[in-house]
Structures are given as structure tokens and as C-alpha cells.
Chain A
Amino acid sequence: MNAPAITTAANTGKTSAAEGHFDLAAALKDAAKTALITLGLSIPILSYKTNQSGADLFLNPRWGLVAIICAIVFGLRLVLHAFTATRAYRKSLPSPHQATEAVHAEPSAYQKASRFGIPFFLGIALTFPILIYLIQGGLNESRYWVDLGILILTYVMLGWGLNIVVGLAGLLDLGYVAFYAVGAYSYALLSTTFGLSFWICLPLAGILAALWGMILGFPVLRLRGDYLAIVTLAFGEIVRLVLINWTDLTNGGAGISSIPRATFFGLPFTAGEGGFASTFGLEFNGMHRMIFLYYLILALALLTNFVTMRLRKLPVGRAWEALREDEIACRSLGINTTNTKLTAFAIGAMFGGFAGSFFAVRQGFVSPESFNFLESAIILAIVVMGGMGSQIGVAIAAIVLVGGPEILRNLNFLQSVFGTGFDPNEYRLLLFGIGMVAMMVWRPRGLISEREPSVILKERKAISGSLVKEGHG
């Protein structure tokens, strides 16, 4: 069934290579065809589940699942097309190293894949609670998955925030969790002490974390590499120890509990009159809050991504990248490296602070336990595995590193292979290690190590050889 389809994929790839660009219409058509075949196949296999209850047999329809699988097949097919087309096209191109004429920006495989891949990922992220609702067949049943989605997105956001410091500016920060803690405690203390709402505390937490980013930034301005890593590591530990020992303010190791929950722009998620559910005429369900939190962290993460992408195109973002490449050259080009480093620390920390206050509002409880070195290490691992400076790579790494252990927890069928005492979750760190080693061997610079230039010359901007010399001095 699949074999002819693959050859058509290769053919379309070749024809589009000859034309020089990716044939979207044909790819869409083919993807739609593939999805249709999937639908046909899944009708007898997937669409009904038989449930036995006593002597009776019930048919449970599962059309939601079928729809999702068709959508996934459609998306993957499209990505595959984009990928093969680019590969074939690339092969047909002479290597840029031997180019004798102006090489104009040909979109790389990454760019082309991302043209479809990113909307695909984004679509999944945006519709995730709905998909889960359809698959699991109820709000309460989808609780676990939405919770996992929130967790992953929190780490995506932290990864993106740290990516500014580590990936773009090249400053190895092992104490990023400190800013996460500052954000969480800012919200916890401001809301429990002054009764401020989440929406006021969120920017405040960001500002406070940014401030702490600067405070960390000043002493480490002259450090690089290993030394910087050690100092930031110490900073993270200091913040945690202060949180434990300053019992008057932080309640020490016992943490701060009963932190007010987030409201839907003023509407609390409560069962009574004036709550979210009754205002919108819905039946009260605790999951409303969870889904709201999901979209909240999604919005925050996308904000982080958006700001980072924009900053990369601004002088400050380019200065960060230049700083990562060569500090001396930066200075001799008139870049104030002090300010550049401080802004990187501050902006990275600010997003950590946002994520922290989100963490506090989600948990309703914060304690120093949550901000140990392991957290910093995981966030850093996400950034490094994703590929320094690559936004999509960081997102994928976060899904793998945070979602992976959760999948392990659900691999109960392995017990039938290895015996009932087998708990796959116990092998989490082992698999983690194997994964890391594999990464080091095959992709030592991260999943997506290709750096996208932040400016791409358009044809119209190409410089013709007939141009005369202009300007002076």
C-alpha cells in the first residue's frame, strides 16, 4: 500500500527539484490522498472498539482517534514531501563552496521543513486539550494529559528563556533555576502578603527576576566558560539556601502554601455564583482551570519565542550572537559588551521569572525543594540537546526530556515481557544517559545545530556587479 506512494514522493521531489521550488499543491494533494487511505484503513481497525460487559458486546465509536491519526498522517506526509524535495533540490545544486556566482539564499531543508513543521507543531499545541478531550472522551479523563502538556510547556518556556543566555549570548549559566525560584517566590509572597492578583504579579515577577539577572550579571561580566559556569552554579545554590534559611520571609523548607489561584481575567474558577463556569453557563468542572492554565503557559511560551525571534533581528540580538562568536571582535566593532551581557542575563532571567510565577500559580505551593540544581541541569540539557540557539530544537528537546519519562511510566506492557516486577520508570536515568551519549556521537551540536541567519538577502537586494563605488571615508 505504501510502496507506490513513496515512489511518487520521490518523483514529486525530483520534479520540484527541476523547477527549483517546492510544489505545494501537489504535496497537499498527495498528503490528502494518504490521509484518505488512512481513513479507509482505520475504519475496520480503529473506528470501533468492542467492549464486553457481561455477556453483551458493545461497540464504542472512536471517531476522534481516527480523525487525529488521519491528521497526523497528513502532516507527516507533508513534512516528508518538503524534506525529500529539499534534499533532491540540494543535490541538484552545486556546492556553495565552489560557487563562482552570487549565491542567493536558497531555503535550507530546515527552513522548508519548518514552513510546514512549525505550523503543524503549533496547531497540535493549540488544539492539544481538544484533541485529548476527543481521544479520552471526557474532561476528567484528560486531566493527566493536560497536566503533562502544561509541564512540557513550562520546560519549553524555560528552555527558550535560557536559550537567550546560553544559546544566543553564549554565556553558560548553570544557575538558571534561581530566576525560576525568584519568579515563583515573588508571586507567592506578593499574593499571600499583599493580596495582589496573578495578573499584576506576573510582570512584577518578571521585573524582579530580571533585576536578579543583572545582580548576577555584574560580578560575572569578566568571566567566561568554565569560570562563569561555576559562579552561576553557586548563584543558583545561594538563592536556594537563602530560601531555606530565611524562614521569616520564606517560611523555610516548609514552603509557602495556599497561594491564590489564577483567575480568568478576574473570574475565579469556582463552583459558586460569579465563577467562570456559571458566568459562561457551563457546568462546573475543575478541568476548566487546568485548560486555562494550559493556554496561559502556551501563551507565555509563545511570547518568549516571539520576543526572542524579534530580538535576534535587532542589533541587540545580533550583538548577543556576535558576543558568543568572538568577544574581542565585538569590542573592536564598538559593541558595549557589558551592556550586551547584562541585557542577555536580564531578559533570560525575566522569562525564567514569568515561568516561575506560573509554576507558583499552578502548584499553589512553593518550596525550595523545587528549585534544586537538577532543575537547572535539566533546563540546560534541553537547550544543549536542542541545539544552542535553535528555538524549534529546544521545543523538541523539552518534549523528549520531559515527556519521555512520562511515557516510560505508561509502558506497562513491558511487564509482560520482563516480568511483573519490572518498572520501566526506574531505568529513566539510564535511558537518559544512553540518549545523551547517542547525541554526543551523532549530533554533537544538538538536534538542530544549523544556525539560521537572521537576515536573508532577497533577490531584489542582490548587488549587481555594475554598481559603481559609492560613499567614502
Chain B
Amino acid sequence: MSIAATNTPVPSSPTALSTARQPLLGVRGVKTYYGNIIALKGVDMDVHEGEIVTLIGANGAGKSTLMMTIFGNPRAREGTITYAGQDITRMPTHEIARMSIAQSPEGRRIFPRMSVFENLQMGASINGMAHFDQDLERVCTLFPRLKERLQQRGGTLSGGEQQMLAIARALMSRPKLLLLDEPSLGLAPLIVKQIFSIIKELNEKDGMTVFLVEQNAYHSLKLAHRGYVMVTGNITLSGTGKELLENPQVRAAYLEGGH
């Protein structure tokens, strides 16, 4: 919070924001519990249209919980989540998914026994396969590897290809906001680079808003317009990607050891 208040022209304090412009995704004072254990201790966060926002933090900080809470599973016990001005806090997951938010969940979660083609069809089923052929071409241009493997079963793909498939599947519904949970998990550095450049392309060419949860602080902060740092259920720092990269605390906690 401290950096944001002093340095950045994009302030993260709620009052300034609401006067500036309405965020596409607004998270306000969200508390999430697993039983009696509090996982998110009042999180405030904004994602504006056209931005790439990244959330970094150590294991168990609550990054994925925040991602899942946005999707209504588990639900926030306190606080509100708004999407395009609409309160989605209490909505069931599948209805949130139909509001042009797409998610590529942690651990890829593709359908292993279905073919790549069928996986993509599942992604397009929300809008009734309306633009299926076009969208298929589009993701195939983005991920030429998938095009080669359309008939293959999802489970036979390599880890990187599965991640590509998970992202491609999420894109099939033509989302405005794309939520990505650790797309670099367990992937070779070269593939990570590739995936991050695709995210950048999506953002720059198509104007897609991306919310990225990552462990890979260096890459994700370099890519993102803004970033948040989460520690044990609280947002402790926020600022532009560049600021966070230069911040000594961030460097000490997440970037030591080089890349």
C-alpha cells in the first residue's frame, strides 16, 4: 500500500478509484473462510479494462483462493465483488462464467479423455458455439501446437501444451476478462516465455483484460501493467509492474536468486 500511495499515478485506494473510473473487476473488503480458518482477510483489488494485472505471493498466501472467490467457489463471506458494475459476490459459479469472464484454473484442469477439439468445444459451449469456427481458427493461430493436435486426447499432451489448451479453452468463450491461475506452473522457461508473450499479444491486439496469478514474479511483473503482492491473506503492496520490480522488499522476497 505504501508504495502505491506515494509513487504511482494509478492509485489503489478505494476512494480515489471510484471517482476516477469504474473498474471492470472490483474486489472490496473480501473475506473468505475455509471453515473457521480465514484465508482472505479483507482484500481490495481492482482490474481495469484493458489492463494486465498480476497478483504475486508465496505459496499459501491466498492467491488462488482469491481467484476462486472471484468465481464464487468458495464464496466470500464478507465484502463484495463487482464485475462491470454488477455485484457477482453471491452468484453461482456457472453464471459468473457466463458473464464473459473466463478462467484457466490452477493445474490446467483440461478434460483428459476428450480430444483437444472437444475440449475447445466445451469452452465454446457457453455462447452456444456461435462463433466456434472463427474462434477455433483464432486459437489455432495463437497456439499452432494445438492445431497439430486437435484430434489427440487432452491427457496425452505435454504440460506446456495442456496449459496452452487450458488458455485456448478459456478464450473460446470470447471473454472480456481472462483469469489465469499460474500459467507458468511446472513449465520450461522457454514455454513460459511463449505463454507470456501470447498473453501480451491478447492484451495488446485484442484489448483483453487479464488478471494473472503467478509465482513467477519476475516475468509476470515485467508483463503486467499493475501488480499486487499478497502475504497471508492480505494485499501488502501494490503498484505498477515496474515499481514492484524495483521495490527492495519485493526483490528480497520474490526475486532473489535471479532468473
Contact = CB atoms under 8 A, between A and B. Distances in A.
Given A318-B122, A331-B94, A470-B134, A451 B148 contact: no
Contacts of A337: 94
B159 interface: no
Interface in B86-131: 92-95, 97-98, 100, 102-103, 105, 109-115, 117-118, 121-123, 125-126, 128, 131
Contacts of A100: 148
B208 A318 contact: no
Contacts of B98: 334
Contacts of B112: 325
B140 interface: yes
Contacts of A329: 105, 109-111
Interface residues of B, number: 54
B23 to A, nearest CB: 18
Contacts of A101: 148
Contacts, number: 132
Interface string A310-350: 00000100110110011011111111110000000000000
A455 B153 CA distance: 12
A472 interface: yes
A120 B150 CA distance: 32
B228 interface: no
Given A334-B97, A473-B174, A318 B140 contact: no
B206 A473 contact: yes
B173 interface: yes
A334 B148 contact: no
A103 interface: yes
B105 A322 contact: no
Nearest to A456: B151
B117 A469 contact: no
Nearest to B131: A471
A105 interface: yes
Contacts of A258: none
A326 to B, nearest CB: 5
Given A333-B173, A465-B144, A470 B137 contact: yes
B105 A103 contact: no
B206 A455 contact: no
A99 interface: yes
A255 B173 CA distance: 55
A57 interface: no
Contacts of A319: 122, 125
A467 interface: yes
A326 B169 CA distance: 14
B28 interface: no
Contacts of A471: 131, 134-135, 137-138, 174
A325 B115 CA distance: 12
Interface string B141-170: 110100111111100100000000000010
A326 B112 CA distance: 9
A454 interface: yes
A467 B205 CA distance: 17
A417 interface: no
Contact of B151 (A97, A104, A326): A104
Interface in A70-123: 96-97, 99-105
7 contacts: A97-B156, A102-B148, A103-B148, A318-B122, A321-B114, A469-B205, A470-B137
Given A319-B125, A333-B125, 10 more contacts: A97-B152, A97-B156, A104-B151, A322-B114, A334-B125, A336-B92, A451-B114, A471-B134, A473-B100, A473-B176
The 9 closest A-B pairs by CB, nearest first: A334-B97, A325-B111, A329-B109, A334-B126, A331-B93, A471-B134, A332-B103, A453-B115, A334-B98
